[in-house]
Structure 1
Amino acid sequence: MRYITVKKDCSVMINIPGYSIIRTVYEDSYLLVAFAALEQTSKQVLLKIVKSGRSTTIENAKLIHEFNFLSELDMKGLLKPTSYMNFKNVMVLEYEPIYASTLRDYWSMVAVTPDMYIHIMKNVVTRLQELHDRQVLHLNIRPDTLLIQRHTDEVFLTGFGYAVQMNERKEQGQSSLEGNPVYMSPEQTGRMDYPVDVRSDIYSLGMAFYELFASRLPFKARGALDWAHAHLARQPVPLYETNQMVPPIISDIVMKMLAKNPDNRYPSMKAVLEQLGEHTLLENGNGSAAREKWRINASGGNDPPNTGLPMHTKDITFSRGDHHVQAQRTTLVVTDNIVSYPQVLDLAAIVQASEIFADHMNGEQIAEQFMKLIIQNAGAQRGLLIIPSHNQWYVNIEAKLESHAIVSSLQHIPIDTYPYIRRELVAGALQDKMIMQAAETREASLAAGSKISGTALCMPIVSRNEVHALLYMENLLTTEYFAAERFHVINNLASQALFVLKSRSSAFAVGAQHDNDRVMELDGQAEVQRALTTREQEVLKLVSEGLSNKEIAATLTVTSETVKTHLKNIFEKLKVDRRMKAAAIAKTIGLLDEEERR
């Protein structure tokens, strides 16, 4: 779904007391932005109005956060609300009017030429650097939250529904339950051991620039979990190959902003601005020395960038032979309350796991689908399920990313003859019954003598102190380890794949459809995430629309006490403690059956 601007008289569509709506300037599935006049003074203002629907509760919370957050932020170039009101369960923010277009609309209205690229990029990056100088992370950068005035080229920022102070982010961790998965950085998914900092905004801006310059997004995906995997495991086509009007140097800047590993991106918006300045020197013909300096900077040089940020540190490693391997233990304890977006993605994987059983497949087909889901949830490019048979270990299922799609196949190949398996990781996992992972370096297939570096992991599937299988995964786009916080869900999904593969029975699949446990483990302990009943889904949808308990009771013709009971059950099943959290989770994992953002 693409955001569109509708310019028309909308007074018949919406009526806000005290205002006369003049025309709509921006509209999407969740918000309406319109010019309006105060009826008493005829003063013209700008209104941002939450649409009534199944995202009302979430959007209301975002607008309240935006109002409170921006009221404390003193900075030019912000679309700052001056007041807010609650009208029929929806929030309305009032702004001093700024006659500007979103960057998306500007691109469609103005013939943006290559010589304008640098000018626009500099203005946007400068404004975001000013924001970062005030220790603020935007965390919602996209072509629709960047505004530009056509007559001045001045840039304004909006969409502060997820913004945080940097020190608060460090204290609270990844607290956002709902975000825009299309522009979200890899580290925001919680699948990498990296903090969320200014480089996350740089990645999101790279996504926005790529989309504008190429007239398409760098990835195709559907749903939050699929987008998370795209950001982690799929490599975008170089920008200049999608639009030959884009100078290769500009393409290199955008591609560096989109590096999977935050250490390989620019360390700050200021560094991006300096790189754009180097491009200006090249355009002015200031010699080969400047060009060589630009080439080294754009490629990252031979040394890690000096980010001015705390360098990422790894856990203590121990040596096994000539290899340094990290060992980690994982428990199968479920987090009591869902408080972060990475946990919401985990829940989305659990929901998809329950849906796999309902697709009337045999055991082997179910196991293959689980392996695909494991790769997607872990952010891996390849995964193997390795099972013992007659004192020999065999690769039984391979799932891998191929041409931007995850494919799987049943196999029966001894691991001794299987290519690209780190034998020391397998040996360590079997001997110590611990998760083993290490950096992986391999010859690149496209360039002679070049190498690619990534991460390999081997996870033992243990039941009653016995290793029943091994899950082997790799991602060759980042040298950082898979995040340990995700291991318990990955282990559960791998246990499911092993269980159904060993059953090799279509009767099992039919029986599993009626099992209410979303994730079963070999030892019988389960993460019980029972499906919401039809009535609970109805209540949750009305909660998402912003209705009170009394209004829900009237709509469903039940008592308020009955609604409270349903809400208690919903909170327990979704592991949340507030209505907004329940609505955010339901939206992300698709329980509201609502049109996706893209």
Structure 2
Amino acid sequence: MFTVPGYEIHEVILEDQHIVVAYATCTQTACNVIVKMVKEGPRTIIENAKLMHEFEIAGVLDIPEIVKPLVLLRQGNSLVIILQSIKGVTLRHYFRSHRVSSRNFIQLAIRISRVLDKLNQHHVLHMNIRPDTIIIEPNSTHIYVTGFGYAVRTEGERRNIPLLEGSPPYMSPERNARMNGMIDVRSDLYSLGITFYELLSGRMPFHASDPLEWAHAHLAIEPLPLAGESPPIPESISRIILKLLAKTAEERYQSPGQLIEDLEKCLHQLEAEEIYESGKNALQHNMPRLDSRLRLTKEQTSVTKTESSVPMISFGYARMLDLAALMKASKAFSEEKEPEQLMRTLMNIILEDAGAQRGCLVRVIGEALYVEAAVEAGGGVAIFETVPLDEYDGVCHELVRCVAVTKDLVIVNDAYKEGKFVNTSYVVRRRPKSLLGLPIYIQGILTCILYLENNLIRGAFGFDSYEVLHMLASQAVYVKKQQFSLEGIRKLKNGGHIFSPSTHLLTDREIEVIRLMAVGLSNKEIADRLFIATGTVHVHIKHIYAKLKVNRRVQAVTQAAVLGLLEDI
């Protein structure tokens, strides 16, 4: 049991690696309080900052449903915050120990939404809504909100800690994205949707195991349907939750007030159905049934910057996700033995890091384009064999060719509605929202194109930097070369032949010439080695330059190395 001078600790109610929370009594005033203390350890400085931030934000809020901080103390290297005493439990604990009917759930949801509405009116974003930061008094079912360590003021002086972290399973897509933008109460509403989903179903709407996977799920994976639950979840409640979980903020409820309006409609509908069922059983009276499909409130689809929004400071968290992606790739290189499985892992890491649903690696060989890998999020279609681009219909060909010609980055924020690819057959058929074509240069030569797609979010790929994606794609190119070499050795051992678009680009004689060029032989020395005229060597080199789209000897050798034509040297 820990101690705090001036307070008698009675019962620990929450303890994890970083903090401990307990009921206590102030020895001077005999008042019951809650003590929350940071444990000493590697995260002491961070947890102290969160506690100080919570004291500053929550301490000035005049909202009865906020767990009020009273005193901030220092004990050794740790901070201690004294909070008003509430005899309650977290929503997570309450739903595990109580049977909550649909009607009672909606009543609780309305109360929680009203607290968010009050926070919004006070220009505060909570940024940490989850089942563990919402407290309920079991007897009165009064609701309280705590956990303001990540809260953000949206007006006046903003002395807020940067949004470097949070609780990844509950963070909205806009907090996980790397593009600049505004963040507002709709981010808290998304977290509330995750909370409602988890409380009702007993599971999360996505499968993920680390921050990178959670970020990808929020950006690119549809939530699992709320079906097959016992007891069943009414369709009207399910539709409200799924609206809260919309990937783009414009498609969610635009304010807590609009959410409350639909929840109240849903409650009235359930109460009317209960009256109907009761009357039918007692009187056998055939009353008309209410429409079970709740007509959700219609909102405007565009929201401009308001006083209740704040610029998104996501760079720190984005860098953390990039670092996680690189570490995950490094681990894959050290553990995966088969090139194809390593390629699959790398491509999935690229999807996770970019927040993409579909990814494709297109090899550039002269003017020819070949799909060398294609994956879909959630274990969908995966291709790891070399296929000519024209024979693969899983990408927007026009965008890929545009990158190949311009040799520059191409981003489309809402492909189905705007941009020069809007009338292409692929866009008309697939209706994608965000598209990205990233040229991948290796040793200064355009080697491949990384194609990414997200059909759920507009502007998903407007990043500040593409360095990590470029690095991961370059690693995938290397793995593909290794895979081809290994497959070639296996085929040769079995008496087969090797197919490679690279080797079909040059004739056998031209490959001999480029390999001798690579070891530093002059035209005359090459002619002597191959028993041909020097003029013939000059003609072969001219053809090689034309096919490889280069005009210098060093460039030709470099491109040949990238294409895997020099591996036997």
Instruction: Specify the TM-score bucket, using the shorter chain as the normaliser.
Output: 0.7 to 0.9
Question: Does 2:438 match 1:467?
Answer: no
The code of the aligned residue for 2:168 comes to P
Q: Which residue does the alignment assign to 2:405?
A: 431
Q: Which residue does the alignment assign to 1:379?
A: 355
> 1:187, 1:193 within 8 Å by CA — same for their partners in 2?
no
Alignment partners' CA distance in 2, 1:243 and 1:491: 46
Q: Which residue does the alignment assign to 1:228?
A: 215
The code of the aligned residue for 1:354 comes to S
Q: Which residue does the alignment assign to 2:295?
A: 295
Mark the CA change 1:253 to 1:243 in structure 2 (over 3 Å): closer, same or farther.
farther
Alignment partners' CA distance in 1, 2:188 and 2:62: 20
Mark the CA change 1:306 to 1:415 in structure 2 (over 3 Å): closer, same or farther.
closer
Residue number among 252, 266, 276 corresponding to 1:265 in the alignment: 252
The code of the aligned residue for 1:429 comes to V
> 1:123, 1:155 within 8 Å by CA — same for their partners in 2?
yes
Larger radius of gyration: 2
How many angstroms does 1:340 deviate by?
Answer: 2.0
Instruction: Determine which structure has greater relative contact order: mean sequence separation of CA pairs < 8 Å that are 6+ residues apart, divided by chain length.
Output: 1
Partner secondary structure for residue 433 of structure 2: strand
Alignment partners' CA distance in 2, 1:290 and 1:338: 45
Alignment partners' CA distance in 1, 2:292 and 2:300: 18
| More divergent stretch after superposition (66-75 vs 211-220) | 66-75
How many angstroms does 1:68 deviate by?
Answer: 1.8
Partner secondary structure for residue 182 of structure 1: helix
**Count of residue pairs the alignment pairs up:** 457
How many angstroms does 1:450 deviate by?
Answer: 11
Alignment partners' CA distance in 2, 1:360 and 1:270: 51
1:36-435 aligned at under 5 Å gives the runs 36-167=24-155, 175-191=162-178, 194-283=181-270, 285=272, 294-295=294-295, 297=297, 304-305=300-301, 307=303, 309=305, 340-359=316-335, 361=337, 365-389=341-365, 391-402=367-378, 405=379, 409-435=383-409
- When normalised by structure 1's length, the TM-score is 0.70
Mark the CA change 1:450 to 1:281 in structure 2 (over 3 Å): closer, same or farther.
farther
- Superposed CA offset, 1:66-93 (max 9, x none): 1122233332211121112222322211
Mark the CA change 1:278 to 1:43 in structure 2 (over 3 Å): closer, same or farther.
closer
The code of the aligned residue for 1:111 comes to R
- Superposed CA offset, 1:199-221 (max 9, x none): 11000000000000001111121
Q: Which residue does the alignment assign to 2:309?
A: none
Mark the CA change 1:19 to 1:101 in structure 2 (over 3 Å): closer, same or farther.
same
How many angstroms does 1:351 deviate by?
Answer: 2.3
> 1:440, 1:476 within 8 Å by CA — same for their partners in 2?
no
Q: Which residue does the alignment assign to 2:456?
A: 477
Alignment partners' CA distance in 1, 2:383 and 2:264: 50
Partner secondary structure for residue 202 of structure 1: helix
How many angstroms does 1:452 deviate by?
Answer: 5.6
- When normalised by structure 2's length, the TM-score is 0.73
Q: Gapped runs of 5+ residues in structure 2?
A: 274-286, 307-312, 418-427, 487-569
- Superposed CA offset, 1:323-364 (max 9, x none): xxxxxxxxxxxxxx9952122111221222333332263655
Q: Gapped runs of 5+ residues in structure 1?
A: 1-12, 311-336, 443-448, 508-598
> 1:174, 1:341 within 8 Å by CA — same for their partners in 2?
no
The code of the aligned residue for 2:369 comes to W
> 2:176, 2:314 within 8 Å by CA — same for their partners in 1?
no
Mark the CA change 1:496 to 1:451 in structure 2 (over 3 Å): closer, same or farther.
closer
> 1:193, 1:482 within 8 Å by CA — same for their partners in 2?
no
How many angstroms does 1:116 deviate by?
Answer: 0.5
CA-based RMSD: 3.3
How many angstroms does 1:183 deviate by?
Answer: 0.4
> 1:349, 1:377 within 8 Å by CA — same for their partners in 2?
yes
How many angstroms does 1:120 deviate by?
Answer: 0.4
How many angstroms does 1:258 deviate by?
Answer: 0.4
Mark the CA change 1:232 to 1:244 in structure 2 (over 3 Å): closer, same or farther.
farther
The code of the aligned residue for 2:301 comes to P
Alignment partners' CA distance in 2, 1:280 and 1:45: 36
How many angstroms does 1:470 deviate by?
Answer: 0.6
Alignment partners' CA distance in 2, 1:165 and 1:290: 43
The code of the aligned residue for 2:295 comes to R
The code of the aligned residue for 2:267 comes to T
> 2:152, 2:160 within 8 Å by CA — same for their partners in 1?
no
> 1:210, 1:254 within 8 Å by CA — same for their partners in 2?
yes
How many angstroms does 1:188 deviate by?
Answer: 0.3
| More divergent stretch after superposition (344-353 vs 58-67) | 344-353
How many angstroms does 1:48 deviate by?
Answer: 0.8
Q: Which residue does the alignment assign to 1:320?
A: none
Partner secondary structure for residue 411 of structure 1: coil
How many angstroms does 1:222 deviate by?
Answer: 1.0
Mark the CA change 1:172 to 1:394 in structure 2 (over 3 Å): closer, same or farther.
farther
- Superposed CA offset, 1:381-436 (max 9, x none): 1111111347421111122223xx47854211111011132122112211222222
